[in-house]
């Protein structure tokens, strides 16, 4: 682990993940990795409950981490990886809140009937939602994220805490709008000739969310069809057993 991201989600962290991987710090851990490795959700949940975590085992394949859930545990990661540099992504607090509210909060908290049904049939989804609540909505914002003033205050306190906790020579306070130059200078790598990646705006986020929803619906449909088939078979067998014997 060479880079520890301490910035909250919706501060350009997916753009930063893409940029770091282009610079050779590949792979970079981000919340999207939990979608790929659903078993990680239980580990992050345990960390949110204060249980010990083998960070080296969890992150052994990664050279960097950004976004939630990793940013919540940047201090623990700094102790495990004392040579790693720390990136604190920042953004205008008002714009950050508007973005987070309209994307990740609505996606996680305002779950409709379809998502709830899928959760009943897909234990991995339930564990993922449980982790999100424990790490972010309850663990970071105390269950009060809809209170804009409170959420922004938490956001700003976190930034100040990182500044106090991380030695200046080990920390870069970074806005992805600054592009390659400050990032590459901090990491000691050449500036690429390609444009800095700017991805995961609200439209991108919602498009990916809809794609995941369609995939989950497909899986849920297959599971439901299997359950119905098994139920019909069971009912048929029970019905045969109840038929009176002839003769």
Q: pLDDT category, 217, cuts 50, 70, 90?
A: very low
pLDDT band at 233 (very low <50, low <70, confident <90, very high): confident
pLDDT for 131: 96
pLDDT of residue 241: 66
Tens-digit pLDDT profile for residues 40-53: 999 999 999 999 99
Residue 89 host element (H or E): strand 85-89
Cα angle vertex 77, ends 73, 78, to 5°? Answer: 115
Q: Domain 3-112+123-199: what homologous superfamily? A: P-loop containing nucleotide triphosphate hydrolases (3.40.50.300)
The strand pairing partners of 3, in sequence order, are 64, 85
Looking at the predicted structure, is the pLDDT value of residue 127 above 70?
yes
End-to-end CA distance of the chain: 77
As a whole-number percent, the residues of the chain with pLDDT over 70 amount to: 76
How far apart, in whole angstroms, are the C-alpha atoms of residue 192 and residue 84?
22
Residue 222 has pLDDT above 90, yes or no: no
Q: Which of 41-45, 104-108, 112-116, 139-143 has the lowest mean pLDDT?
A: 112-116
- Tens of pLDDT along 132-165? 999 999 999 999 999 999 999 999 999 999 999 9
pLDDT at 235: 73
Q: What is the sign of the dihedral through the CA atoms of 195, 23, 160 and 155?
A: positive
Q: Where are the domains of the chain?
A: 3-112+123-199
Region 173-179 average pLDDT? 98
What is the Cα–Cα distance from 11 to 197, expressed in whole angstroms? Answer: 14
Are 108 and 19 in contact, with CB atoms under 8 Å apart? no
- The pLDDT tens digits for 39-85 are 999 999 999 999 999 999 999 999 999 999 999 999 999 999 999 99
pLDDT band at 216 (very low <50, low <70, confident <90, very high): very low
Nearest to 151 by CA among 104, 111, 110: 104
């Amino acid at each position: 682990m060479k880079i520890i991201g301490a910035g909250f989600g919706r501060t350009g962290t997916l753009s930063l993940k893409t940029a770091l991987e282009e610079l050779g710090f590949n792979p970079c851990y981000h919340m999207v990795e939990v979608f790929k490795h659903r078993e990680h959700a239980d580990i992050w949940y345990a960390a949110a409950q204060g249980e010990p975590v083998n960070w080296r085992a969890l992150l052994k394949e990664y050279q960097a981490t950004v976004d939630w859930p990793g940013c919540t545990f940047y201090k623990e990661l700094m102790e495990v990886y004392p040579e790693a540099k720390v990136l604190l992504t920042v953004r205008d607090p008002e714009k950050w809140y508007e973005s987070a509210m309209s994307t990740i909060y609505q996606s996680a908290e305002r779950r409709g009937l379809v998502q709830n049904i899928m959760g009943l049939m897909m234990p991995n989804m339930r564990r993922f939602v449980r982790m999100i609540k424990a790490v972010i909505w309850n663990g970071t914002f105390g269950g009060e994220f809809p209170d804009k003033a409170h959420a922004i205050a938490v956001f700003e306190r976190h930034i100040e805490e990182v500044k106090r906790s991380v030695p200046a020579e080990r920390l870069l306070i970074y806005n992805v709008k600054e592009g390659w130059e400050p990032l590459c200078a901090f990491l000691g790598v050449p500036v690429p000739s390609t444009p800095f990646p700017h991805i995961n705006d609200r439209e991108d986020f919602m498009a990916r969310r809809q794609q995941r929803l369609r995939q989950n619906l497909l899986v849920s449909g297959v599971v439901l069809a299997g359950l119905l088939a098994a139920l019909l078979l069971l009912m048929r067998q029970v019905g045969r057993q109840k038929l009176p014997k002839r003769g």
